[in-house]
A and B are shown apart, each in its own frame.
Chain A
Amino acid sequence: MTSIHRRVLVALGGVVAIGLMWRIAVRRTSADAAPVPSATPSASAEALEPWRSEPACEALRRAPAPEPLVGADVAVNCPALEAVVPAFALSGEPDNAVLERLRAVVERGLAEAPRDCAIAFSRLLANDSRCELVYDAVAIRVMTGPNASPTLAASELLREARCRWKLVTALRQSRKADPTLAATLLSLTSAADRDVANSAWLTVGTLANVARRPLSVEPSGKPTVTVTPAATSPADATAAPSGTSPAPTAGAAQSSEADVSPPPRATMPRPEVGACLDRIISSELEASSGDRLQLLLGVAGNAGCGSCRPTLRRHLASPDTTTRRRAVSAFRFLEEDEDTNVLCKAATTDTDDTVRGAATYALRFAAASVTRRLECLYEVAVGDDVERVAQDAVGSLTEIPGPSELVIATLVQVARETPHPKVRAEAIAFLRTRATDEALREVLGSPH
């Protein structure tokens, strides 16, 4: 080897060394700004979690890390725990009353001692192996209650446990898209436990949707109705003011005075979290096939993923019915006019009735383009030869969020024109809840 060769090699070695040092420095800086740990600390976080290099995910990278798990030796003071433990020892599924009481006790406990009870309840959950409804009753409130700590909740997500998938799925009821929880969920999408990974994906989708919503208060979709006192309308309500009626008897369900304390909380949207999750879902969807594609279509559907539109449209042309059905369902929370057109086209022209049914079902969700949606649903209810698809359309008409007078006018048209007797009967049954028999006779023009 000549000296020139040696010099070249030494120079190359120096470049490689500088490159390595640079990469290490960059990684350290990145780690400082991204304290959310990966589920498997031994492996490279970037390799495991490609989202870390996604520019839209700055908010997740900057999120506080999950707290270290509080050791079992650390004592906590949660008086409500005593009332919660027996529910986990019950054999069989408790009835509704027991579950309702359990939910109330957990809520009260978390309101009185948020941190201690969250830790105490989480330990209880970690030891459970039955994954029954009592688990949900506790998990949902620990993970998403008004006093829930995202960093504490995230640490619980990372704890290996038999029913961890339930803890993951409980987060779909979150009212806000917390970046720490979002980052932790993303790390769990590659968990070895299939239930955990699938649940994490579906919950990521729901969280992306939550992140874009201006308010987390559950919309009722319909205006409230003031009912006159029982004295003036006895047939219309069981509401009977009973004056100085006795206090609740011992056998009655628990009073839920505590339920009143947390007022409805309006949370601000987190569009930056939503954008990050959308990008990740979109790129995963694009790269998916087979079973994973079916899952990711569900995730995109939960998310109302705008950046997924091109891929979803491509799958709408799939020869596979299941893929088409799931792709069309994934448009249900998308709100642009074009999305409504996609659903309308599928609802009225797809050759497969399950796909048309799925599109018809999907049309009930978004609040945008209501008039166009009503037109489509009318078209399906009146024009589809398959009765069950037409019936799906009436189902959607009765649940679509929109001005009730438009909905009622559409249902009247459907009742007049549909060739399917069952569809007509269902439309009239719904109209009866909104109008008197006389009014119905008048608008429908014939006995019904």
Chain B
Amino acid sequence: MKRIAFGAVVLAAMVSVGTAEAAKPLGPEIPKKALKLNDKLKAPLKPIKVDDLKGSKGSKFDLKKKYKTASGQLITGEEFLDVANKLQAAAEFGGCDLGSGKGCNFEVEDFKLDAGELKGTLKKAGFSLKLKNPKAAKMYGGAGNSGGEKEPEKKVSNPLGFQWERDWGNPKKAAVYVGAEFGNDGSSKSSACGGAAYAGVHLFNNKKEVIRLQGEVAAKKGSFVGSAELLLLGKEVWSESGKIDVTKKFEESYKVSQSWTYWGIVTLNLEAKVTAAASLTAGLSGVATENEYTCSVKVTPGAKVSVGGAAEVAIFGYGSVSAAAVGVEADLTLADLSLPVTLSASAKNQNGKVTFTESIKADIQLKYLSGSLDAYFKTNIPLDGECWLCKWDTDKFSFTLLEWDGYTFKEEVFKKEATQTL
């Protein structure tokens, strides 16, 4: 009659199964048996029977009774026998014999013998088993093939996604553009959501993206990964990983130069300063469990873009007008926008049937092109044809460079929900 005890040693990706008495040091001298991907763990050739087992003090083994494992955990005799036979089968597959006194190595990364089941069994026995994550297959948003499972991974067909961009105004003078591209992806064992939203302005034919928010969430076996960043004028000003729930605000600005000539003698050089007050609300979360892979993204990028500036005036033949006599009056909002986007995707396994549910919703609220930008200068040069000799007063010349009444735009950019069974 055998006295069975279990010992498991986890060394990196290597598992040893053998008797406690045979706790010999593992090493290269012990041959390693590689198990193939499709190998199945069958019933052991030499199954361990109830009669083969004995309690610690030689008492009769009872399937209904509770026994303490090496780690001190209590399991039933039935579970104990199950553990014994699983390990016996694994050991046989590895070319060794449980209880023979010889060490036994096999590589876990090749051990595709229903890893979940084996892990559960070992857990009952109080053993820990580190399984190497298989290499991820390429997918949108970083979700990968979790592999190593009995069931082959089934990819989602036609996941939701959209790309949208629109502009308002006249790019030669001033205009605003907003765009968004978001999408989901997934499989029976993963889900991924992500994309980007951006907005920028045209000012005097100069196009510049002001704000860009991008990020993604991927849920796959054993991991949930979230990552998002905010760029203003190409500079990353905020970056976060993991579960994210934030509200942040930033100011950023840049300058655009433009010149006009009036009457062939007055040159007005404007240095327009575009200032963006950017805001961001972001919530990224996910679930990655045995039977559920969910990702969720809720983001609202926003920006208020206004224009101010400084001007210089030169009058041909009379030199530059002094800085004190030149000014800019600005109360111009190019855009005040908000683009709330929510998306989620979820693969849920119930009784072996995987349901993939997803949704995307995006709206835009925009106020644009309101107010005016004027430049002026004061001079006592009689530019308007007054009497040259009798002119003593100072005239103020004002130029309306940009002017709009202001408009609003509100639209549902995208809204869709879908469910499919994988």
Q: Which residues in A have some Cβ–Cβ distance to B below 8 Å?
A: 96-97, 99-100, 103-104, 131-133, 136-137, 140, 169, 172-173, 198-199, 202, 205-206, 217-218, 220-222, 224-229, 236-245, 247-248, 252-253, 255-257, 259-261, 264, 290-291, 294-295, 298-299, 301-302, 319-322, 326, 332-333, 351-354, 357-358, 361, 365, 387-388, 391, 395, 398-399, 422, 426, 429-430, 433-434
Contact = CB atoms under 8 A, between A and B. Distances in A.
Interface string B236-262: 111111100000011111111111111
A295 B239 contact: yes
Q: Select the residue from A97, A100, A205 with max chain B CB neighbours within 10 A.
A: A100
Nearest to B171: A433
A355 to B, nearest CB: 10
Interface in B70-86: none
Contacts of B239: 198, 202, 294-295, 298
Contact of B384 (A224, A244, A294, A295): A244
Contacts of A259: 273, 308-310, 328
A260 B249 contact: no
Contacts of B256: 220
Interface string B289-329: 00000000000000010101111100000000001101111
Given A220-B256, A257-B324, A354-B140, A136 B173 contact: no
Contacts of A131: 249
A253 B376 CA distance: 14
A225 B205 contact: yes
B395 interface: yes
A319 B142 CA distance: 8
Nearest to B267: A226
A242 B397 contact: yes
B201 to A, nearest CB: 11
B234 interface: yes
Contact of A322 (B142, B237, B255, B330): B142
Contact of A137 (B242, B251, B255, B260): B251
B308 A260 contact: no
Given A202-B239, A237-B401, 10 more contacts: A169-B237, A220-B257, A222-B205, A239-B399, A241-B399, A243-B397, A264-B271, A320-B142, A357-B196, A388-B181
B327 A322 contact: no
A367 to B, nearest CB: 13
B235 A227 contact: no
B397 A244 contact: yes
Contacts of A357: 181, 196
Given A236-B172, A256-B330, A298-B239, A244 B308 contact: no
A219 B173 CA distance: 18
Nearest to A97: B331
A395 B164 CA distance: 13
B400 A240 contact: yes
Contacts of A245: 376, 396-398
A224 B257 contact: yes
A218 B252 CA distance: 12
B38 interface: no
B259 A205 contact: no
A381 to B, nearest CB: 14
B140 A99 contact: no
B223 to A, nearest CB: 10
B63 to A, nearest CB: 46
B208 interface: yes
Contacts of A429: 167
Contacts of B311: 260
A264 B309 CA distance: 12
Given A238-B402, A388-B181, A260 B329 contact: no
B325 to A, nearest CB: 9
A395 B208 CA distance: 10
Question: Chain A's interface: helix, strand, loop or mixed, by majority?
Answer: helix
A238 B308 contact: no
Contacts of A218: 254-255
8 contacts: A99-B277, A198-B240, A229-B261, A244-B396, A256-B309, A257-B323, A298-B236, A322-B225
Contacts of B388: none
B167 to A, nearest CB: 7
B218 interface: yes
Interface stretch (B119-127, B131-139, B349-357): B131-139
Contacts of B153: none
Contacts of B275: 99-100, 103
Contacts of A100: 275, 306, 308, 330-331
Given A96-B306, A241-B399, A136 B250 contact: yes
A236 B260 CA distance: 12
A130 B328 CA distance: 32
B414 interface: no
B94 interface: no
A207 to B, nearest CB: 11
A321 B216 contact: yes
A260 B326 contact: yes
Contact of A253 (B257, B331, B400): B331
A199 B275 CA distance: 21
B398 A242 contact: yes
Contact of B310 (A260, A302, A321): A260
A285 B42 CA distance: 47
Closest 10 CB pairs of A and B: A321-B142, A253-B331, A136-B251, A291-B241, A388-B163, A245-B398, A298-B236, A259-B310, A96-B306, A433-B171
B183 to A, nearest CB: 8
A298 B142 contact: no
B401 A239 contact: yes
B194 A354 contact: yes
Contacts of B165: 391, 422, 426
B262 A238 contact: no
A426 B177 CA distance: 12
B363 interface: no
A97 B275 CA distance: 12
Interface in B177-230: 179, 181, 194-196, 200, 202, 204-209, 212, 214, 216, 218, 225, 227, 229
B340 interface: no
A206 B250 CA distance: 15
Nearest to A255: B327
B336 interface: yes
A211 B5 CA distance: 66
Contacts of B227: 294, 322, 326
B138 A229 contact: no
A298 B229 contact: yes
Contacts of B234: 332-333, 365
Given A218-B255, A220-B255, A225-B259, A399 B397 contact: no
Contact of A202 (B181, B238, B263): B238
B398 to A, nearest CB: 4
Nearest to B261: A226
A202 B237 contact: yes
A319 to B, nearest CB: 5
Given A169-B250, A291-B242, A351-B138, A243 B395 contact: yes
A298 B333 CA distance: 31
Nearest to A141: B251
Contact of A133 (B196, B249, B326, B402): B249
Interface string B362-391: 000000000100101000000010000000
A253 B328 CA distance: 10
